[in-house]
Each structure stands twice: as structure tokens, then as C-alpha cells.
Amino acid sequence: MEGNSVKMENSREIKDMLYDHVSRIGKAVSSPKRLELIEVLCQGEKSVDRLASEVAISMKLASAHLRELRRAHLVETRREGKQIFYRLADPRVADFWVMLHSLAEQQLTGLREALKRMTAEPEMLEPSNRDGLMRRARAGEVTVIDVRPVDEYRHAHLPFARSMPLDELAGRLDEIPREMPVVAYCRGPYCLMARDAVDLLRQHGYRADQLTDGVAEWQAHTRRS
């Protein structure tokens, strides 16, 4: 009996240790700003100062958050001169972010309502339309524009998409055909750049809509298929 008791105790210690290791991921992503940093890093490698600017926090706070993500092996770094650049440690980190926010949107009524308010105008194209959208883009029946910064487009973009950064869009409207619909996308459902782009396009007479997906959502769907 004593041997069985020791064995059970050891098993309990092992299980506790395993769950403790897994919980490190949960602890690392327990901050809203760390989640936002992951979303931005889904778009490609960025310097600490760029990341701080993107998520509207100080360099000191950004560095602290990034260190926590690095301790959990969710991000990696490289140094170039005095600058430190961060990137996701594995493509599955992006998949994890997509799975996490998708689950939250499914389970949390408050989040769904907030998303509806945020995107009441324009209406968003649902992810289920992604295959149909690609068929139309391939056939030249719709113009897909990527309104993220150009370095993010170069890192990865949706098939058939044109790079039209939001801050350049007003001056490049003549590059967009008026005879067909326009679909804009940015970093995903929590990014407002595509919404602002669609507002601008509609003001100038274009038939425009916003795609829910960003590159991370698209790639996660592709890896699951």
C-alpha cells in the first residue's frame, strides 16, 4: 500500500508540473497588450520601437511585455546594431491567436456586440466567403486591396491582392477600377484600417466591402484545410 501511495503522489507531482508548464502560455497571453503585440507580429518581424508605436504604449512597457512573450517561447529576437527585432517563434503562434479570438467571439456575447458596433458600417464579408472571393478575384470580377503598411504586404498577403496602404489610398484611387466591387482587408477583425478604407472608397462612389479575415486568419484556414 505504501508503494502505491508513493506512486500516486509522484504521479500527482508530475501532473502538476505538466499543467504548470502549459499554464505559462496562458499567463503570457493574459494581457490585452500582449495579445495585440502577437496580432501585430502575425504581420511580420518588427522592431521594439515600431511595436510600441503600433500598440500605443511606451518602449519600456513594450519591452517588458515582449520579454514575457519570449519567456513563454512565443516570440524570438534578433539584434541589428542597437535595434532589437521581434518575430513569432512559430507559425502555430499565429494559429493560436486566430483560434483564441475565434473562440472568444463565439463564446462571449459582449465581444460579438462590440464587433458589430465597431463594424456597423461597412458590413463585413464573413470568412465563409473566402473561397468565393478568391474565385472572383482570380476571374477578375473583384479588386482585393491590402491596406496594411507595405512591409507587411511584402511579408505575406492574400492571393491576387494589391498593396494599397491606407495612408496612400486617397492619392491612388485612380489605380482602382470603378466598374467592379472592391474588397479591403487589413490585419484581421480587430483592425480598423480596412473599415476606414471602405468608408473612403464609398465616399468616392466605389462599391466596397471589408473582409473579416487578415493574413493570419487566411493562413490558419489554409493549414487546417
Catalytic machinery residues: 186
Contact 54/151 with Cβ under 8 angstroms? no
Q: Edge-to-edge, what's the strand order for the sheet holding 75-80?
A: 46-47, 83-88, 75-80
Q: Which three cell numbers stand for residue 180?
A: 467592379
Closest CA to 33 of 69, 73, 70: 69
Q: What are the C-alpha distances in Å from 72 to residues 34, 60, 102, 189? A: 12, 19, 22, 25
Interatomic CA distance for residues 40 and 60, integer angstroms = 18
Q: 122: cis peptide before it, omega within 30°? A: yes
Contact 160, 142 (CB under 8 A): no
Distances (CA, A) of 204 to 19, 141, 172, 175, 220: 55, 20, 12, 13, 34
- Rounded to the nearest angstrom, the gap between the alpha carbon of residue 77 and the centroid of all alpha carbons in its chain is 19
